[in-house]
Amino acid sequence: MSSWCIEYWKSNQKTEGSHAQFKHISYVKPDPKDVSRRYFSDYKSASKFAKSIFEYGYHTNVIKE
């Protein structure tokens, strides 16, 4: 059975305006101490959690282990 890990961290970058007004946003690698992890036994639960915290300004990374 495979497990799924969600890595998440708070984003400090703000995007305002319409998509036509967005400037190029570069990826800023988070400090490892700021990255939190949560484990799930199935992809559906992991994906649901990732989407729910994304709405609060967190970046997420879903990893199959």
Exposure class string for 21-46: b at 16+ Cβ within 10 A, else e: eeeeeeeeebeeeeeeeeebeeeeeb
Residue 15 lies in a domain: no
* Domain, as residue range, for 5: 1-10+34-65
Residue 28 lies in a domain: no
Closest CA to 10 of 62, 63, 60, 61: 60
User: 58, exposed or middle or buried, with CB in 10 Å at 0-12, 13-18, 19+?
Assistant: middle
What is the count of structural domains for the chain? 1
**What pLDDT does 35 receive?**
95
Residue 4 lies in a domain: yes
**What pLDDT does 16 receive?**
61
**What pLDDT does 4 receive?**
96
Give the tens place of pLDDT for each residue, 6-24: 999 987 766 565 656 666 6
Q: How many CB atoms lie within 10 A of CB 64?
A: 9
Residue 44 lies in a domain: yes
Residue 64 lies in a domain: yes
**What pLDDT does 28 receive?**
74
What pTM was estimated for this model as a whole? 0.74
Can you read off the two tokens belonging to residue 9? 């961290």
Residue 61 lies in a domain: yes
Those residues of the chain that have pLDDT short of 70 are: 1, 13-26
Residue 26 lies in a domain: no
